[in-house]
Structure 1
């Protein structure tokens, strides 16, 4: 997608490894970071330099390849090191499995090159999957817009389901970008998505760069907008969908689904097949990541004079689960690379 007017992927190969955007500094500073080892990749994932289930998987795949470049015998050790960085997003394990299974039976001298090739293929496939999601979602948006052709289509998102969470296009944002590019009038309500503000900082940054009309809203405004008829549909991404269709996504998604259900607003989940985990029967089995309370207790950003500062907003103890589970019964449909379906 577009970054400073130029087309770019969120992860790219370099001579020594891969480069990623440091998402901790967006949108105030656009800085690329080069990862040259499995240790750096693990840190980038754990500390959320890079985020989003598909992109975490891609970064981990390259991390495993870099480990094998340094030591072809480190396959299982590096795999375990990268796997433990984030427990909830299933794409992480999927991508690591892809690389490990691809190289395990190869001669040691061939492992690193083959691992990099498989990581490259994972990235290329992610772009193709997301574009296909976009095309199927576009048909859905066209159908909904045809019901009210005299006004923009109003879409509500949560967290960052965009190209910064994938290699390109994004999941929930892919239909939005394609619709905008073909001239459909639309407007996106962007949840701020506390505590890390991925919506206000990342999704809004993406949409601004691509010229998509949008407004950032507080997380709790969505229900009011739905009551007022100002939301035509909700589209979210996901970190894991279980065999029965339950959706694990950024905390607050469940509340949006409840509000949508109560107001008869369609609620869609956009995802590639790599995010489906059929080994788990339901969302009750998904490990929910508890993150540092500092994410909620502190807010960081530029001050009036342009300097960066961290501001404490509470001194009380903090409980900070990062994800929740939306039951399949609240999901209108799933937008996948194969089409829009009512069930997984």
Structure 2
């Protein structure tokens, strides 16, 4: 398959989500036409990746609005706020979720007229969020290539988790930089961390690369230091789920240790994310909420239990990488040292 991947699509008055829990073995869609089903799809990671979650939540707000049975504007807005609360509770770390819901609620408030006039405007807003994200990712890709090391001529990049088309509306953030490097002849190979415990790198990033013929090598998360010491990695590019105003970045668990390893080996470490991922209300990363997921992700692989009874588990889904380990944050507006992203606040 050499066609673009769109994990969230609007078609025939419903949302089609690529079921990412079934990849890479099955490429199937889940049809969503109720807001409660969208909330479940987000929480169970049928759809995942901060920008993709935001797009899905925007459509969820529209689907929920259609279900509201009142013509009273104030009552409609109150119920829409409750729908937003339900969606906000699904994944606490990904700030794009909250950003998209805020934008949908603002659209409803700003739309003059009846409930009947508001509802179609919510669909327009969700579709705009969808299309904007694709354009944003393409811009991130272009800016990212521009700040990658100038030598060697063809680079070997390392990424963690999946920040590709599957994690966005299409094209990707970190993997968008990889895609752009590939199309411009700057990429020799992508190394993809397997990304325990859910294996998004092994399952999803590698799947995307195979679809497009991008050379990809999957490594265990614990192999990154060895690969860097062997000179196999020229730069690291990762995505983000929330970035504080000072540049501290929350991303998939294991990103922090990867950044430390990169620093120790003098390998530049980049974060690629849209401006909507920056939470300017947080001074630093200490305020970023970290989602903790069910321990079965650790003790079970498929149907196989890999730990003995009686073991305790700790399964945070994200960690926070301090800004001083990040060379630049690549956005649709350009690449910035972490200390300068505050300049994007009014963009």
Relative to the length of structure 1, the TM-score reads 0.93
- Separation of aligned partners in 2, 1:67 and 1:240: 26
Give structure 2 stretches of 5+ with no counterpart: 71-75, 342-347
Higher alpha-carbon deviation: 63-72 or 34-43: 63-72
Higher alpha-carbon deviation: 14-23 or 40-49: 14-23
1:314 to 307, 319, 329: 307
Q: Is contact 2:274-2:332 (8 Å) kept?
A: yes
User: Does the alignment pair 1:158 with 2:160?
Assistant: yes
User: Does the alignment pair 1:136 with 2:129?
Assistant: no
Q: Is contact 1:23-1:49 (8 Å) kept?
A: yes
**Corresponding residue for residue 109 of structure 2:** 104
Q: Is contact 1:68-1:111 (8 Å) kept?
A: no
**Corresponding residue for residue 344 of structure 2:** none
1:23 to 4, 20, 24: 20
**Corresponding residue for residue 326 of structure 1:** 321
**Corresponding residue for residue 80 of structure 2:** 75
User: Does the alignment pair 1:125 with 2:127?
Assistant: no
User: Does the alignment pair 1:148 with 2:148?
Assistant: no
- Separation of aligned partners in 2, 1:88 and 1:296: 20
- Separation of aligned partners in 1, 2:62 and 2:329: 32
- The Cα of 1:184 is off from its aligned counterpart by 3.1
Q: Is contact 2:137-2:176 (8 Å) kept?
A: yes
1:123-177, Cα deviation, whole Å (9 max, x unpaired): 1110111100011112223xx2x4223xx41100000010100011100011211
- The Cα of 1:221 is off from its aligned counterpart by 0.4
Aligned length: 327
1:153-210, Cα deviation, whole Å (9 max, x unpaired): 1100000010100011100011211221233342011000000000000000001111
Relative to the length of structure 2, the TM-score reads 0.92
Structure 2 counterpart SS, 1:189:
strand
Structure 1 counterpart SS, 2:251:
strand
- The Cα of 1:9 is off from its aligned counterpart by 1.7
1:254-275, Cα deviation, whole Å (9 max, x unpaired): 0000001111100000011000
Structure 1 counterpart SS, 2:191:
strand
Q: How does 1:39-58 map to 2 (within 5 A)?
A: 39-58=36-55
- Separation of aligned partners in 1, 2:252 and 2:54: 17
Q: Is contact 2:157-2:234 (8 Å) kept?
A: yes
**Corresponding residue for residue 60 of structure 1:** 57
2:333 to 331, 335, 338: 338
**Corresponding residue for residue 209 of structure 1:** 211
- Separation of aligned partners in 2, 1:21 and 1:131: 21
Structure 2 counterpart SS, 1:111:
helix
Structure 2 counterpart SS, 1:112:
helix
**Corresponding residue for residue 37 of structure 1:** 34
- Separation of aligned partners in 2, 1:105 and 1:329: 40
- The Cα of 1:105 is off from its aligned counterpart by 4.5
Structure 2 counterpart SS, 1:28:
coil
- Separation of aligned partners in 2, 1:339 and 1:87: 27
Structure 1 counterpart SS, 2:164:
coil
**Corresponding residue for residue 303 of structure 1:** none
1:311-344, Cα deviation, whole Å (9 max, x unpaired): 1111322110110000001101111111111122
Higher alpha-carbon deviation: 7-16 or 265-274: 7-16
- The Cα of 1:39 is off from its aligned counterpart by 0.4
Q: Is contact 2:156-2:233 (8 Å) kept?
A: yes
Structure 1 counterpart SS, 2:16:
strand
Structure 2 counterpart SS, 1:314:
coil
Higher alpha-carbon deviation: 313-322 or 180-189: 180-189
- Separation of aligned partners in 1, 2:172 and 2:46: 17
Q: Is contact 2:7-2:47 (8 Å) kept?
A: no
Q: Is contact 1:38-1:64 (8 Å) kept?
A: yes
